[in-house]
Structure 1
Amino acid sequence: MQTASFAGFIKTLFYIVAFYYIFKFLAKLFLPLLVKKVVEKAGANFQEQQQRSQDASWRTSNSNDEIIYNTAHSKNPRETKKVGDYVDYEEID
């Protein structure tokens, strides 16, 4: 069985600190590039989706030349649903 030594502890601590600073340095280098790439890809997907949506709406609007207005419902407004009876309360002195 091995026992922990002070030199082994310092060595492990050095490796942890070195890894932290190397990771921090590499993150500063590559993270902005990675984020830029992700944002560009999301923008391209959004543009493509908008283009498909506009093309689909253009095709459906070109085929419908007639516009029919339904005025039957505008003359008779919809009745409100009756839920219960109205009860008038009076204050008692």
Structure 2
Amino acid sequence: MQEASFIGFVKTILIILLIYFAVKIIFKWFGPQIMRYIFKKVGQRVSRNFQQQQQDFRKQHQQKEEFTIDRDPKKNKKSNKNVGEYIDYEEID
């Protein structure tokens, strides 16, 4: 069975800290460019999906227009204005 040495433990901790600070510095310098690139790609994807949906809607709308049936307008229905009696309720304390 091997035992961990104190020097090996310190090396591991230093490597972890070095990687952490390196990543932190890289993102500080290049973070805005990375985020700009990501937002640009997301914007393109959203735009492409929106255009695809518009094309699909137009195709469906054109297909529906081909199969519409003209009907005579329905006669105006008479409204029933006799809806009932108004009752005023009072609160009882």
Structures share fold, TM-score greater than 0.5 = yes
- Map 1:9-88 onto structure 2 (within 5 A): 16-72=20-76, 74-77=77-80, 80=83, 86-87=87-88
Count of equivalent residues = 87
Cα distance in structure 2, aligned partners of 1:25 and 1:60: 54
SS of the aligned residue for 2:88 comes to coil
**Shift of residue 77 of structure 1?**
4.7
Give the AA of the match of 2:55.
Q
Q: TM-score of the superposition, structure 1-length normalised?
A: 0.59
Give the AA of the match of 1:54.
R
CA-based RMSD of the aligned residues comes to: 3.7
Gaps of 5+ in 2: none
Give the AA of the match of 1:63.
F
Q: Aligned residues: percent identity? A: 19
Q: TM-score of the superposition, structure 2-length normalised?
A: 0.59
Give the AA of the match of 1:76.
S
